[in-house]
Amino acid sequence: MSPRLAPSDDVDSFLPLPTAVFHILVALADQDRHGYAIMQDVGERTGGKVRLSAGTLYSAVRRMLDQGLIEELRESPDPASADERRRYYAITALGRAVALAEARRVTDLLSQARAAGLIPRKL
Amino acid sequence: MRAPDLYRVLLWCYPAPFRREYGQEMLGAFHAELRDARRAEHGLAIWASAAIWARALRDLVPTAFQEHRHVLMQDLRHAVRVLRASPGFTLVAVASLALGIGANTAIFSLLNNVLLATLPVREPRSLVLFTDPEAQGVAAGSQSGERSLMTYQEFLDLQRSSTTLSSAMAASSSLHRVQARLDGAEPEEVALSLVSTSYFHTVGVPALIGRTFGDAPEPAEGSVPQAVISHELWQRRYGGRADVIGRAITLRDGAFQVIGVAPSWFLGETVGQRPDAWLPLANLPTILPGRPWLHDVPGTVEKVMWLHVFGRLRPEATADTAAAEANVTFQQGLTRYYGTLPDPKARQGFLDQRLRVRPAANGANALSDFADPLWVLLGGAGLVLLIACANLGNLLLARTTARVREVAVRLALGAGRGRLVRQLLTESLCLAIAGGICGLALAFALRQALIHLLIDPIVLPATLDRRVLLFVFVLTLVVGLMLGLLPALRITKTPVATGLRDQGRGIAGSAAWLRIGRLVVVGQLALSLPLLVGAGLLARTLVNLQRADLGYAKEGLLTVNVDAQAAGYEPARQAQAFEDLLARIRAVPGVRVATFSNNGLFGGSDNGDQITVEGYTPKGDGDRGSSYDAVGPGYFSTLGIAVMTGREITAQDGAASAPVCVINETFARRFFAGRHPIGLHVTQRYADQSHTYQVVGVVKDSRQNRLRGLIEHRFYTPATQPAASISSVSFIIRPSGDGGAVLPAVRRVIQTAEPRMQVTRAIALADAVDRRLSQDRMMAQLSIAFGVVAALLAAMGLYGVLSYGVARRTQELGVRKALGARHATLIRMIMRETGWLLAAGLVAGGALAAGAAQLIASRLYGLSPADPTTFGIALAALAVVALAATWLPAYRASRVDPLVALRHD
């Protein structure tokens, strides 16, 4: 069972999410990763359209840690990995809720555009 | 250099905390990216690596900026928390800084207006001035060397012949205040500036509504009865309505139609003047009847120089080429005018004139006299701010020292010293910025208060421009950094181990703080003394000036100026009109004695001509000329100037009698040493005219125009003799009792007897002299304020340091008392400490004061910059204030309870 959100967490206050933040949350949604793995996942998932530089990634990571959207793991999630230098990050309940809210927001936008005839039913 | 090393260098763009936290990760990720890119096919690998570098470089600036901003916001939030935790200290600090920064800003803003600000016109840097920017008024006669002002004819010659100027304009160097009816209302005084029709075109100022005079050639006299009014007059008298165009401004001898309104930001070409309206020069006969100032009258040598002349340089021209061309035209004009003089020496003298071209971006300046005093005041205000910053810096240092354990803990936990220094500097900058914002608001009010310290308020734009805002910004930054410097230095010197051992008393740092604190106090005392000495010197100068011996009693004397030429009187009628008026004024109840003179007393005008003295051979240029005045009968007895030998000018010295003169004692000493002057002759020369007078009397020296400087040699001629040829006089009246009712009665007599003759000025002599002292008064008042504030601030600093010292020595004092030390002994011990601090401060301050006093030497009157009385009083005052500040800590030290003290932790 995923941890509950604290009553004071206002998910809507984070919207709209910056692109880099959304992609990092998506990358961490299915598994915990270190920084470079996040960069690789984002690149692969978007077919190379979105590539995060180290500066962009870690600046976003610092902000997301402060905001409680992600957390740093004390131990590597992959005990078999010999790479102890790398720091691993995991999405928090708040992060998951915020990512979900952003996805819903974008979906709503897409529906409105379809309803207005701006884009066809199937892109 | 390898790629990772290069990236490591780029990481220095990020703030240290971020670098420490994520630098290794970023380096690792970047290295991994490059490694994976190289695994691609060879050609693609290069592009992939290039893309990685491009991404890194493109994102570097925005992300580094974000991180720096994040750290700054953290520091700001921390600083605000710390300052909110001690509201009392924060309030006092911000208030002190606001006062200091506000005072400096107010004075600088005045300096900016007076000296630095450029005219708000099109391309001010291409404007040049052919006259002296500080010259004002009207000079009739001639002038050798560089010309201060020009005549109308000379301006026309320049305008017509110039190829280096795209346009030229002339403007009267003084405003003309006349009585006018605006739209048929009751007469009121308006200030008019007479200008050429090219005026607004040359300066590049369009009308706000309506139009200006265009760029037509100068019109014939009286043919352009039009006026452009100022924005202020438009708002005040016409309610800012657009239907002002076409309205009439009516003077006694003519009416003008309003054709346009100037924009609110344009106040004319002369700093310190604020005309209500601009009228073409061709209207002079209507505004000032009887003044033939538009013509250089042929056959005489009397030129009337009263105009400033500006030009706008063509793009290809320079000031030097404009000057060369203008001087050719100017010399040709002089040759035409003076070339027919029979005396070659006189002719050469008149031809020895030239124009000097100056940059005119700042315009002409009626306030240049205020520049030096303002610089002095700015220096004083700067010192006060420095002393206030020293106090606050000491307080901040004390607070930091008390937090030394907290600092040591943070250092032990990995906080960088640089980060802590930055946080401290952020705290002090927050204080400074708050003080700067409040100071800027205060500057508006202080500026107005400064202006009102002068009797005749300076007319200056009310806005603060970019230069002033920049001044405030830089001052605030410097203050903030200065305040944070001492605490920051303290932090960098705190050994972690020592700080952790500190048991909360701050003992580890308190000795160091005391040392620094004492040094700061000595510095404050040293800086206060020059301010007190300066205040004393300027205050005594003011008193000396107020008590200056004029050679006659100024109390009670009244002066009333009238202008017969402006009233349209023929020259032949003028002298008789003045004599008739004098007789009527003498008959006014309450008038004890009365007389008149051409230049009056402290009216700002004087006469001077070349002279030769019978039996005297001139030794230098100073012997070839003399100031003089034409005076009415009983002049010296009315003023109360003693006649040393011979007689004064009487009613018998009229048009039909022999020309006579009276000389002052300086004149007698200089030209008649060893001889009896009575019966000898003085000849006054102007070009080919000369008048010879027989000396009939010698009078005591007196002052008619200047309070400062040596009294010059001077002679007096009867105003009623034809040689005088005066067209305006000042009646000088000594009432028998309280003269309150006399001035209005005299005005009524003049209005009744000679309705056309306007009273141009009516003032008590004491008030006229007082106006001359407005600048000295402002300097004295402000420097006293600065001196007092500085001394109090230094005393506060001394009190703080001594109090802390006493608190720190509580145990020691308790032990001393327990061992039998008496109250007096402990008091003496503390006072001795003060004595050393005071002595050090006074010695350093004395040297500073001696140097600073030399800077204001030219402003002093009746005393030298090293005046021992003033120095002694300032030293004593500072010593008293310092000792008073010491008394309470010393008293507390003497009252320490040994039992309490020994338990003190």
Q: What is the pLDDT of residues B720-739, one digit of tens each?
A: 776 667 888 999 999 998 77
pTM score of the predicted model: 0.78
Confidence at residue A1, expressed as pLDDT on a 0 to 100 scale:
40
Cβ <8 Å between B25 and A55: no
Cβ <8 Å between B33 and A36: yes
Q: Where are the beta strands (DSSP E) in A1-123?
A: 33-34, 70-72, 88-91
Confidence at residue B807, expressed as pLDDT on a 0 to 100 scale:
74
SS3 (DSSP) at B265: coil
Of A53, A58, A59, the CB nearest to B55: A53
Q: Torsions phi, psi of B358, nearest 5?
A: -125, 155
Residues 6+ apart with CB under 8 A from B562: B578, B581, B728, B729, B731, B750, B754, B757, B758, B759, B760
Distance CA A86, CA A84 (A): 5
Confidence at residue B142, expressed as pLDDT on a 0 to 100 scale:
73
Is the model's pLDDT at B521 over the cut of 90?
A: no
Count how many residues are written for chain A.
Answer: 123
Distance (Å) from the C-alpha of residue B19 to the closest C-alpha of chain A?
A: 10
Task: Give chain A positions within 8 Å (CB) of B64.
Answer: 55
Q: Name the nearest CA neighbour of B104 among B542, B464, B365.
A: B464
Distance CA B272, CA B113 (A): 9
Confidence at residue B582, expressed as pLDDT on a 0 to 100 scale:
93
Distance (Å) from the C-alpha of residue B528 to the closest C-alpha of chain A?
A: 51
Distance CA B311, CA B675 (A): 55
Confidence at residue A123, expressed as pLDDT on a 0 to 100 scale:
54
Q: What does the buried/exposed string (b/e) look like for B421-457 if buried means 16 or more CB atoms within 10 Å of the residue's CB?
A: bbbbbbbbbbbbbbbbebbbebbbebbeebbeeeeee
Cβ <8 Å between A58 and B25: yes
Confidence at residue A2, expressed as pLDDT on a 0 to 100 scale:
43
Task: Give chain B positions within 8 Å (CB) of A63.
Answer: 70
Q: Which of residues 3-42 of A touch B (CB under 8 A)?
A: 34-36, 39-40
Round the average pLDDT of chain B to a whole number and report it: 87
Angle of the B371-402 helix axis to the B774-808 helix axis, nearest 10: 10
The sign one gets for the Cα dihedral B96, B97, B102, B103 is positive
Is the model's pLDDT at B844 over the cut of 90?
A: yes
Distance CA B435, CA B424 (A): 17
Give the H/E segment covering residue A46: none
Mutant choice from B22, B52, B61 vs A, greatest count of A C-beta within 10 A: B22
Compare all CA atoms of chain B with the CA of A86 and give the residue at the minimum distance.
B25
Distance (Å) from the C-alpha of residue A71 to the closest C-alpha of chain B?
A: 15
Lowest mean pLDDT among A62-66, B1-5, B653-657, B900-904: B900-904
- According to DSSP H, which parts of B403-465 are helical? 404-412, 417-452
DSSP B497: H
Lowest mean pLDDT among A24-38, B100-114, B397-411, B575-589: B397-411
Q: What is the ipTM of this complex?
A: 0.87
Q: Name the nearest CA neighbour of B180 among B171, B170, B190.
A: B190
Q: Name the nearest CA neighbour of B425 among B433, B437, B413, B414.
A: B433
Confidence at residue B351, expressed as pLDDT on a 0 to 100 scale:
86
Contact between residue B150 and residue B170 where contact means Cβ atoms under 8 Å apart? yes
SS3 (DSSP) at B169: strand
| Residue B482 pLDDT class (50, 70, 90 cuts) | confident
Distance CA B268, CA B274 (A): 7
Distance CA B448, CA B110 (A): 10
Of B26, B51, B58, the CB nearest to A54: B26
A49 touches chain B (CB under 8 A): no
Confidence at residue B500, expressed as pLDDT on a 0 to 100 scale:
64
SS3 (DSSP) at A3: coil
Contact between residue B794 and residue B887 where contact means Cβ atoms under 8 Å apart? no
Pairing of strands B714-718, B625-631: parallel
Is the model's pLDDT at B880 over the cut of 70?
A: yes
Is cis: bond before A16, omega within 30 of 0? yes
Q: How far is CA B197 from CA B27, B217, B257, B284, B766, in A?
A: 73, 7, 15, 13, 41
Confidence at residue B64, expressed as pLDDT on a 0 to 100 scale:
95
Q: Tell which wins on pLDDT, B312 or B445.
A: B312
pLDDT in tens, A34-57: 999 999 999 999 998 999 999 999
User: How much is the average pLDDT of B478-491?
Assistant: 78
Task: Give chain B positions within 8 Å (CB) of A57.
Answer: 29
Q: Give CA B479 to chain center in angstroms.
A: 24
Confidence at residue B883, expressed as pLDDT on a 0 to 100 scale:
85
The sign one gets for the Cα dihedral B870, B876, B877, B878 is positive
The sign one gets for the Cα dihedral B255, B261, B266, B267 is positive
DSSP B659: P
Task: Give chain B positions within 8 Å (CB) of A58.
Answer: 18, 22, 25-26, 29
Angle of the B3-10 helix axis to the B16-38 helix axis, nearest 10: 150
pLDDT in tens, B147-178: 999 999 999 999 999 999 999 999 999 998 88
Distance CA B604, CA B508 (A): 68
A53 touches chain B (CB under 8 A): yes
Confidence at residue B301, expressed as pLDDT on a 0 to 100 scale:
60
Contact between residue B882 and residue B794 where contact means Cβ atoms under 8 Å apart? yes
Mutant choice from A19, A24, A34, A36 vs B, greatest count of B C-beta within 10 A: A36
Is the model's pLDDT at B808 over the cut of 90?
A: no
Task: Give chain A positions within 8 Å (CB) of B58.
Answer: 53
Pairing of strands B277-280, B188-195: parallel
* Residues pairing with B167 in the sheet: B312
| Residue B508 pLDDT class (50, 70, 90 cuts) | very low
Mutant choice from B10, B66, B69 vs A, greatest count of A C-beta within 10 A: B66
Lowest mean pLDDT among A14-28, A92-106, B332-346: B332-346
Distance (Å) from the C-alpha of residue A20 to the closest C-alpha of chain B?
A: 12
pLDDT in tens, B591-644: 999 999 999 999 888 888 889 999 999 888 788 889 999 999 999 999 999 999
Cβ <8 Å between B33 and A35: no
* Residues pairing with B594 in the sheet: B733
Is the model's pLDDT at A81 over the cut of 80?
A: no
Confidence at residue B4, expressed as pLDDT on a 0 to 100 scale:
81
Question: Which one-letter amino acid corresponds to residue B364?
Answer: A
**What's the half-sphere exposure (Cβ side, CA atoms, 13 Å) at B694?**
9
Task: Give chain B positions within 8 Å (CB) of A39.
Answer: 29, 33
Contact between residue B600 and residue B559 where contact means Cβ atoms under 8 Å apart? yes
| Residue B318 pLDDT class (50, 70, 90 cuts) | very high
Cβ pairs A/B, distance under 8 A? 58
Burial class of B512 by CB neighbour count within 10 A (0 to 12, 13 to 18, 19+):
middle
- The fraction of chain B above a pLDDT of 70, given in percent, is 94
Of B26, B51, B52, the CB nearest to A58: B26
DSSP B821: -
Contact between residue B551 and residue B701 where contact means Cβ atoms under 8 Å apart? yes
Q: Where are the beta strands (DSSP E) in B144-222?
A: 145-146, 165-172, 176-182, 188-195, 209-210
Q: Name the nearest CA neighbour of A61 among A93, A100, A18.
A: A18
| Residue B504 pLDDT class (50, 70, 90 cuts) | very low
Q: Which of residues 68-87 of A touch B (CB under 8 A)?
A: 85-87
| Residue B187 pLDDT class (50, 70, 90 cuts) | confident
Distance CA B878, CA B535 (A): 13
Pairing of strands B226-229, B254-261: parallel
A61 touches chain B (CB under 8 A): yes
User: How much is the average pLDDT of B435-464?
Assistant: 78
Confidence at residue B677, expressed as pLDDT on a 0 to 100 scale:
95
